[in-house]
Amino acid sequence: MKNTYFLLASLLFVACNSSTNQKNNESAEVSAEPTLIDHADSSEPHLLNLHQLTYGGDNAEAYFSFNGRKLVFQSNNKEWGVECDQIFTFDIDEAEKDTLRAKMVSTGLGRTTCSYFMPDGGHILYGSTHLADSNCPPEVVPEPGGAYLWSIYEGYDIFVADLDGNITQQLTDEPGYDAEATVSPKGDKIVFTSTRSGDLELYTMNIDGSNVVQITDQLGYDGGAFFSPDGSKLVFRSSRPKTPEEIKTYKDYLARGLVAPTNMEIYTCNADGSDLKQVTNLGKANWAPFYHPSGKKIIFSSNHFSERGYEFNLFMINEDGTGLEQITTQSNFNAFPMFSYDGKKLVFSSNRNNGGTRETNMFIADWVE
């Protein structure tokens, strides 16, 4: 879940000055007409009535409210007065009919990531570094010829806020990284990623933050987890270093608060961690998985087909690893898919229709089987 688009930078940004913080309860307007990209693109037959929802900046990890009427997402759109990722929400119908008016619901301080609606529809949870530092934490500086890296900021904790941006609860306070939280469709559990064991593992907790249980325990980055539609399973991405050299590299990076997410596969397990299974074995980076409404298939983003390594499209696969199908074909970045709870809509991030810039925007479509 963490980090916006794989090929370019990271999906974690935020505002870091008092003037931005004062805008917390104001709406941010995009002066662009809503765009109906196509009615039915024969190269993307599952996506009908595709609409662009945002214009400008990097917008990603958009997730539906339980009633399907709202989206919550993170953005670094400079026109909205932010310097790195902040969390915003809006009504879907309003965005499709008129110019988007997104409301910031994070504090405007630190860096935020991985927001998700709580079951009541009146609160959201997200990860934030604002208690550790009110400023945006530094970006990773790529080493010449070095690996592509993500930062695992130790200042991240998970918070609950109302839709006016008021924090109502802090769910984690352990030292280290706690983020990438999502909620079970049953409304009873939260899954998240934490370094509290010394490695990047999955944990679950009750919706109120109690009863924290470790779910994974193998070396490697386990993250970006989501529950199945019935809440009985988890799907997630994982890097599992195996050779002595891979293990040393992984541990060295993690000690520096970094991961190299260029070799990841999709896994599933029961919600208690049992029956762990590897779903993909495609090579390169397979990530941002989400369960199909049937609970029998998984949609995810992958660059396994790309010779250059930075072209990401959406694919769907059966839980047993068979039946791989390509879902998107347009542009060189498509990721963060989520089905609405009724299974009728798909929202995802893409850099299609961005005029040749590096902007990543959010799109919504009717899902066609």
Q: pLDDT tens digits, residue range 103-126?
A: 999 999 999 999 999 999 999 999
Q: Rounded to the nearest 5 degrees, what angle is found at the Cα of 22, between the Cα atoms of 357 and 113?
A: 50
pLDDT reported for residue 147: 82
Residue 33 has pLDDT above 50, yes or no: no
Please identify, in words, the CATH class of the domain defined by 18-367: mainly beta
Residue 96: partners with Cβ closer than 8 Å, 6 or more residues away: 34, 51, 53, 364
Nearest residue to 231 (alpha-carbon basis) of 177, 320, 146, 291: 291
CA 244 to chain centre: 30
CA–CA separation, 177 and 181 (whole Å) = 12
Q: Model confidence at 26, in pLDDT bands (50, 70, 90)?
A: low
Judge whether 314 and 300 are in contact, CB under 8 Å.
yes
Q: Which residue has the tokens 């196509």?
A: 38
Residue 258 has pLDDT above 90, yes or no: yes
Domain ranges of the chain: 18-367
CA–CA separation, 294 and 152 (whole Å) = 33
Which tokens is 160 given? Answer: 């609950």
pLDDT reported for residue 98: 63
Residue 15 has pLDDT above 70, yes or no: no
Residue 362: partners with Cβ closer than 8 Å, 6 or more residues away: 52, 53, 54, 59, 60, 62, 71, 73, 347, 348, 349
SS3 category, 35: strand
pTM greater than the 0.75 cutoff = yes
Strand partners, 127: 113, 158
- By residue count, the chain amounts to 369
